[in-house]
Amino acid sequence: MNNRLKKTSVWMPLAIALSLVAGMWIGSAFFNGSGKWSSRSKLDAILELVERSYVDEVDTDSLLEASFPGLLSRLDPHSVYISAKDLQNVNEELGGSFSGIGISFNLLNDSINVLEVISGGPSEKAGLLAGDRIIAINDTVVAGQGWSDVKVRSSLRGEKGSTVKLTVRRHSSKTPLTFDVIRGDIPVTSIDAAYLVAPKVGFVKINKFSSSTYSEFLTSMMNLVADGAEKFIIDLRGNGGGFMEPAVLIANEFLPAGSPIVSMRGKATPDSRPTMSDGSGSFLNNEVVILIDETSASSSEILSGAIQDNDRGLVIGRRSFGKGLVQNQMELPDSSAIRLTIARYYTPSGRCIQKTYAPGTDYDRDIVNRYEHGEFYNADSIKLDKSLAFETLHGRTVYGGGGIMPDIFVPNDTMGITSYYLNVLNTGLIQKYTFDYTDRNRARIETAKNAVELMRMLPEDDLLLQDFVSYAQKAGIAPRWYYINISRDLIVNQLKAMIARNALGVQGYFEVFNEVDPTVKSGVDALSNGKAAFPITK
């Protein structure tokens, strides 16, 4: 054994012993041997030990920042931490407006396809047109750079008054065009569509509950009344909620004076009285139907529950999400925030529709589990907790503990779904074809004032389908006419609806698609036959 090894064999045990002694000393310094430190003190001690003794340099602020989401997730599924860099985007979603350029778009074939230019917005003022393809933003080329929708939005949004340079390809121009767009305030609308879906029946699609939702709703409803609407369908499918107040105000428009709308109970309000309607609503005598599905949550369920429990109208569709918790967003000194659950809300019958999130339950897989159990297709597959039975105003039985069960169940529509349809859908070919079709024919179809006029301009259904099948074949999807014929109506309707979306905006899509939507048709039927007349008794 050489001298170096001999020396190592002597001092290594000594070093280890000294390290152990030092560790014991540090531990005693922190904990004083009491073993009664609180968890908060323990956290401080652990962080101090990490800073003093961890092998590498550690940014403890970043370490803590990364731990906050997990910490809050242990409370319930809806208490969340929002970092300072994400807070502005989160607030914009519900705040009613943001600064941007005023377009809607999709990302296809490595270019940003402009679907709609918001009237009076910055892009319209700069000269952009629907159908333009944005190929570069501030001289950064989009193609081949792995751009995502999130990256596009963050690049187009920015401080009011700032300028973004867009390079655009236009069908009518052989060379790229350049536009300098000055960002401005862009309204975030809550109403996707408001039109007469049938004689005297108004249809309103609400996509979220934001600060501007109630005023948008009232404007839409008054316009529908002017067009002759006497009965209404309010579509809350896909509406994940948002602010509670607009849902309460919309419910108030339909409920007679003294009707309970919602109540909340938490540490600060253990015995809160329900919010009551004041009788000032403009639609107290109009029949109403609410459409829901498994993604209708929170404020959507408050509105649906208020209408259902007061027997004021019908709820149609599939069982809602089941979110009965109320969050309050509190901003922290560093401009981050926590959205903390502060109460449970209860519908007028006294039920809390929050589904279980107890340890051992897979909360995030609940919707998948419903699908696998057949709930989307058969009402008998729905598992209701019969111990949580409540009564509506006129004695109908409703259940808590897992969303709102509709009065009329409409299964998920699988008619026409084949392997061919799924292939063209999943490869984005329906969307690509309809955008290209709209682009090629824009000069002609942009003269259409509404969906009815537009549909008259399109080829006959068989010709449109044949053209699409040829387009899909060139993209590598071989024609399989046995399956194509089964999916014919579904494909043709989606082609027409997407062309209407590209030419007329999002309302055009609903005007076409709703013609064959079984849930909308069920709502129209219920209103036409007086089934939604107050009070609902069975």
pLDDT classification of 213: cutoffs 50, 70, 90: very high
In the chain, how long is the greatest CA-to-CA distance?
A: 103
Quick: pLDDT tens for 52-72: 899 999 898 888 888 998 899
Q: How far is CA 468 from CA 108, 249, 380, 402, 511, in A?
A: 17, 45, 39, 42, 22
Model pLDDT, residue 12? 54
DSSP-based three-state secondary structure for 10: helix
Residue 3 above 70 pLDDT? Answer: no
Residue 300 above 80 pLDDT? Answer: yes
Quick: pLDDT tens for 145-203: 778 877 888 889 888 899 999 999 887 688 899 999 999 987 778 999 999 999 999 99
- pTM for the structure as a whole: 0.84
Quick: pLDDT tens for 337-347: 999 999 999 99
Model pLDDT, residue 23? 52
Instruction: Please list the alpha-helical segments (H only) found in 383-515.
Output: 419-426, 429-440, 442-445, 451-457, 461-474, 481-486, 488-504, 506-513
Residue 13 above 80 pLDDT? Answer: no
Residue 292 above 50 pLDDT? Answer: yes
Choose between 15 and 141: higher pLDDT. 141
List of residues 6+ apart from 280 with CB closer than 8 A: 252
For 70-79, 158-167, 264-273, 455-464, which range has the lowest pLDDT when averaged over its residues? Answer: 264-273
Nearest by Cα to 198 from 218, 223, 224, 216: 224
DSSP-based three-state secondary structure for 135: strand
State the distance between the two ends of the chain, measured CA to CA, in whole angstroms: 95
Q: How far is CA 242 from CA 90, 291, 294, in A?
A: 11, 17, 16
Residue type, 527: L
Model pLDDT, residue 5? 45
For 200-209, 373-382, 519-528, which range has the lowest pLDDT when averaged over its residues? Answer: 373-382
Nearest by Cα to 385 from 395, 375, 400, 374: 400
The residue written with tokens 């918001």 in the block is 118
pLDDT classification of 518: cutoffs 50, 70, 90: very high
Q: Can you tell me the mean pLDDT for 128-134?
A: 84
Q: CA-CA distance, 186 to 124, in Å (whole number)?
A: 12
Average per-residue pLDDT in the chain? 89
**Main-chain phi, psi angles of 141, to 5 degrees:** -70, 140
Model pLDDT, residue 477? 96
Residue type, 223: N
Q: What one-character DSSP code corresponds to residue 159?
A: S
Half-sphere exposure of residue 336: CA atoms within 13 angstroms, side-chain side: 11
pLDDT classification of 316: cutoffs 50, 70, 90: very high
Nearest by Cα to 115 from 517, 501, 389, 437: 501
Residue type, 468: F
Question: Is-contact 261 232, C-beta < 8 A?
Answer: no
